[in-house]
Amino acid sequence: MNKRLSFPTSRFFCHGGGFALLRVVVVVVVVVVVVVVVVVVVVVVVVVVVVVVVSLVVVVVVVVVVVVVVVVVVIVISVVAAVVVVIVVVVVVVVVVVVVVVVVD
C-alpha cells in the first residue's frame, strides 16, 4: 500500500527501531544538556570564588596600607614633637642662662 517506504525502512519502524533511535537521541540531548549545565555551574562557581578571593585580597591590602600609613604618621608626629620639645628646652635654657648672666653681672 505504501510504496514510498522501502522494505528495510518499514521493517525498522515496525520493530520499534524508530523508538529506539528516538530514545538514543533523547538520551544524547539530555546528556549534552546536563554537561552544559554542569560546565556553566562550575564556571560560575569558579568566577564567584575568584571574585571573592580577589576582593578579600584587595581589602587586606588596603587595611595593611592604611595601618602602615597610620603608623608612619604617628612616628613622624612623635619625632616632630620630640624635636620641638628639644628646641623649646634648649631655647628656655639659653634664655635662663642669658637672664642669669645679665642679672648677675
- Does position 12 have pLDDT exceeding 60, yes or no? no
Q: What would the pLDDT profile of 25-67 be if each residue is shown by its tens digit?
A: 888 999 999 999 999 999 999 999 999 999 999 999 999 999 9
Mean pLDDT of all residues in 63-73? 97
**CA gap 30, 22 in Å, rounded:** 12
Q: What percent of the chain has pLDDT over 90?
A: 67
Mean pLDDT of the chain: 86
One-letter amino acid for residue 105 of the chain: D
**CA gap 9, 42 in Å, rounded:** 43
Residue with cell 628639644: 86
Residue with cell 613622624: 76
Domain boundaries, the chain: 7-104
- Measured torsion, CA atoms of residues 82, 88, 92, 94, in degrees rounded to the nearest 10: 90
pLDDT band of residue 10 (cuts 50, 70, 90) is low
